[in-house]
Chain A
Amino acid sequence: MLTLDRLVLTQEGFHLSADWTVPLGQKVGLIGASGAGKSTLLLALAGFVAPTSGRILWDGKDLAQVAPGNRPATILFQDQNLFPHLTIAQNLCLGLSPRLQMTQEMALKIDRALARVGLSGLGLRKPGQLSGGQQGRAALARALLRARPLLLLDEPFAALGPALRAEMLALVAEVAAETQATVMLVSHDPQDIQGFADRTVLVAQGAANAPVETAALFAHPPAALRAYLGEKSPKK
């Protein structure tokens, strides 16, 4: 269970507070205007931004002193998820061994993970030789191998088309189900969120609001969400 305990994040001209929990295995979407702080919240969970006050807890344990690589989390960034000079197999191997010492057993696991995301036989390619979708799949395959209980997605598929994006999110859902991971997905696209997230966090006006049922949120959007969506007020 992920607990944000009176968490406050401050950066230049920016302030965000959050105080809620997410149970294990839940898929949470984060939606809100650009610059509202969705990515910053994810970076804080991954260990790249230190809280100004409050705590981030995983299963009751404070993560403040835990280095990013040792957190129970895998993060996929908007880009630069793969090292361009390493092969896909090596990039995946980093999920199993940060020392990149590949054993026979690991090679098998990597092959299985690649097959699982539909990249069989591409292990010796370099990232530059893959399409954007394939790169996303490779990064997901590594998340699969890392099998951390918290999967943080910072719009990693923003560059892909809607169909491909939906496909990737379906794959994420499968991966999450297999690893029983809690997923936090940042997206600009309400359709992505609606199609993927059980619950949704609205990030607006300096606060990341507690997650609510996605369907309910979109059925009765608060003013901030309406402004973001740019829709006319729903018909009464």
Chain B
Amino acid sequence: MTAARAIAAGIAALILGSAALLAGQAQTWALLPADLAAVRFTLTQAALSAAASVVLAIPVSRALFRRRFAGRSALIGLMAAPFALPFVVAVLGLLTIFGRSGPVNMALAALGLPPFSIYGLHGVVMANVFFNLPLATRMLLHGWQNIPTERFRLAQSLSMPPSAQFRHLEWPMLRAQTPGILVVIFLVCLTSFAISLTLGGGPKSSTLELAIYQSLRFDYDLGRASLLAIVQFSICAGVTLIASRLTLPDGLGSGLQGFAPMMPAKGWRRSADIVWISLAALYLFAPLCAAMIKGLPGLADLPNGVAAALARSVAVALGSSGLCTGLALCLALAAAQDKNRWIEVAAMLPLAASGLVLGTGLFIALRPVARPEDIALPITLLVNAVLALPFLVRLLLPAARQMNANYGQLAQSLGLSGAARLRYVTVPLLARPIGYGAGLAAALSMGDLGVITLFAGQQGATLPLLVQQLIGAYRMDQAAAVALILVLASFTLFALLDYGARRYADT
């Protein structure tokens, strides 16, 4: 608990401190009229994206939960892949499918229908769904798996129709889980300026993060940057607090037998499940495959720096994943017992942090003590770990609460504590979310192109930076090939951690 408080305070200091450092160097304090419009657009697109992702994730995760088919496990694993994609690669993948000359528009043209343009608010939402649907699906899948098998058996033995099962078993779980998931995705979308701008169709789709970027990079207006960062924090903290008040325990208790699928409904429900799974798979993997196929030709002609960049990226990803998982576990366990929820709120703060503000703050803080180039990788590791923390805490928290409800008293009455409790109770019972979370943190770190650009020197490029540099030099084939390697590497890391943990949990 004390450790968790210290971590939470550290995070708050890091996130708020970076904005404060900027503010300390500011000369003027003013927002532009455009900034207000940016706040409005930011909220709109984040709210729509979060709602769309979660609404779609419900039938998809439910279908995945109750159906068994060849490749199910691989499909669930692969769902983390969009997270690892550098933004520009993901957008190009989406455009290959939904763009002007993509298959969707070719089909529309063949049918004599007007073309579909992805640019606009709907395009922003589509891209955000592409990135966040997998996350929402996985989080809900954990929720479904945590409904005790006994309850489903009970329901079946009572001949509860599917609608009643939904109302009495599944709805309470959804009621407990969705507010938290909505918040996470809302906050992810809050800070994603590149998506909004690129697919938004024009300056009316400007977000807060763009305004921060502009004020830091072009106008060098540190006061405005820190004001904007504070606006972003306030939105984040407000939304997190509201959601935590809305979150209710599902009251489902626990069972002894781990999870087993509920008796799959037959008839049209079966067809509906198949359709949902297929649509989700198609939506996620068609752009992904398109992006990866583009990388194949360039594999023959890779730049020399790839191996070193790969090694750096993997090292940073593993380090950041380990650090993040440890911190998240500590925070989640404490937050599960914390009635004030402020640890939970602190753990969500990094979602509101602008990567640029965080990086610049660290730069100002560390510049006097170290050469930025020398600490580029450790700083990247630390920042990536902190930025992934909210996802992991969000993943671990419901499971930790449930573990406490079910086995907290038993463990206490047996005097289980400290390392032994962690080893024999906490880790085995939370293995699934820990493995998934660690994998997610690794994938997020692999794909991240934030702080590294502020600190990296001549020799310090990571894979995403290399992709960016190659595109900047017109070398699209090589860039696509490096992106392919990046996706493969990050997916391998993810799969090892996620699959390993699932295997461990199942034995």
Task: Give residues in A with beta carbon < 8 Å to B.
Answer: 43, 46-48, 67-71, 73-75, 77, 80-86, 90, 94-95, 98-100, 127-128, 135, 146
Q: Does B258 contact A84, Cβ atoms closer than 8 Å? A: yes
CB distance from B417 to the nearest CB of A (A): 7
Bound-complex Cα distance A128 to B417 (A): 24
Q: Interface code B324-336, partner A: CB below 8 Å = 1, 0 otherwise? A: 0000000000000
CB distance from A7 to the nearest CB of B (A): 19
B411-431 residues at the A interface, CB under 8 angstroms: 412-417, 419-421, 423-425, 428-429
Chain A contacts for B254, CB-based, 8 A: 80
Q: Does A70 contact B413, Cβ atoms closer than 8 Å? A: no
Closest residue on chain B to residue A132 by CB atoms: B256
Consensus secondary structure, chain B interface: helix
Chain A contacts for B257, CB-based, 8 A: 84, 128
CB distance from A184 to the nearest CB of B (A): 14
Q: Does A100 contact B420, Cβ atoms closer than 8 Å? A: yes
Q: Which of B416, B429, B505 contacts A94 (CB 8 A)?
A: B416
Q: Classify chain B: how many residues form its interface, as a range.
A: 20 to 34
Q: Which of A68, A84, A127 contacts B412 (CB 8 A)?
A: A68
| Given contact pairs A98-B420, A100-B424, A85 touches B414 in the complex (Cβ within 8 A) | no
Q: Does A128 contact B256, Cβ atoms closer than 8 Å? A: yes
Q: Does A69 contact B410, Cβ atoms closer than 8 Å? A: no
Bound-complex Cα distance A99 to B428 (A): 15
Bound-complex Cα distance A192 to B15 (A): 60
Bound-complex Cα distance A84 to B406 (A): 11
Q: Does B413 contact A99, Cβ atoms closer than 8 Å? A: no
CB distance from B288 to the nearest CB of A (A): 34
Nearest 9 interchain pairs by C-beta? A69-B415, A99-B420, A128-B257, A68-B412, A98-B415, A85-B428, A84-B256, A98-B416, A100-B424
Q: Does A83 contact B413, Cβ atoms closer than 8 Å? A: no
Closest residue on chain B to residue A146 by CB atoms: B414
Asked if B407 is at the interface of the complex by the 8 Å CB criterion, the answer is yes
Bound-complex Cα distance A150 to B178 (A): 44
B387-426 residues at the A interface, CB under 8 angstroms: 406-407, 409-410, 412-417, 419-421, 423-425
Closest residue on chain A to residue B255 by CB atoms: A84
Chain A contacts for B423, CB-based, 8 A: 100
CB distance from B249 to the nearest CB of A (A): 16
Bound-complex Cα distance A47 to B410 (A): 11
